[in-house]
Amino acid sequence: MVKYIKYIAIILILIVISIIVFYFSEKISPEQQIENQIIKFLSKASKSPGDKLSTGLLKSKSLESLFAPHCRFSVGVSSFSGNYTPLQISNNSMRCRTIFNRVRFRAYDIEINLISQGTATVNFTASINGLTKRGEAIDDYKELTCKLRSIEGKWLIYAIAIREIMKK
């Protein structure tokens, strides 16, 4: 009987330790949450050569969850600059995907600045590498700034702009 009590006590201790480890491993810093949002955004905007229409629809639709109710794009191209809702961003993403056979966006040198409790600015280098349906190769880099706001515990993008590093 005493032998069984020892086993039960050991099992209970292991369960408590597992719960504590799981609880603390789920805590992600705001900086990591923000970086994850940027990476997720660029990943969802990308298109692999084998992506079907349904995959594109799902990726574009999932972009909606990454943006605040109103988002400002200032990307230097007048047809893409403006204020958008998450639904409009999703629709524009799907429209852009039809131009490419493949396109990949990546982020480098991510620098996160927490401005206040619920606001952050992220500066990073973004690359675009793709092949249009017309056969044109695209390989370009831009310095971008994203502004995010914590809304209901989730960091959402509310502004994206090209950073002017040096003007000629």
Residue 149 one-letter amino acid: R
Query: What share of the chain in percent tops pLDDT 70?
Result: 88
Residues 120-150 pLDDT 10s = 999 999 999 999 999 999 999 989 999 999 9
Listed in sequence order, the DSSP H helices in 26-104 are 30-45, 53-63, 86-97
Q: What is the pTM of this model?
A: 0.76
* pLDDT(111) > 90: yes
| DSSP label of 28 | -
Listed in sequence order, the DSSP H helices in the chain are 2-25, 30-45, 53-63, 86-97
Separation CA 90–CA 81 (nearest Å) = 15
Query: What confidence category does residue 165 fall into, taking pLDDT thresholds of 50, 70 and 90?
Result: low
Instruction: Check residue 55 and give its pLDDT.
Output: 84
Query: What confidence category does residue 14 fall into, taking pLDDT thresholds of 50, 70 and 90?
Result: confident
Residues 46-94 pLDDT 10s = 988 888 888 888 888 888 999 999 999 887 766 678 899 999 999 888 8
Which domains occur in the chain, in start order?
A: 29-162 (3.10.450.50)
At residue 2, the 3 state secondary structure works out as helix
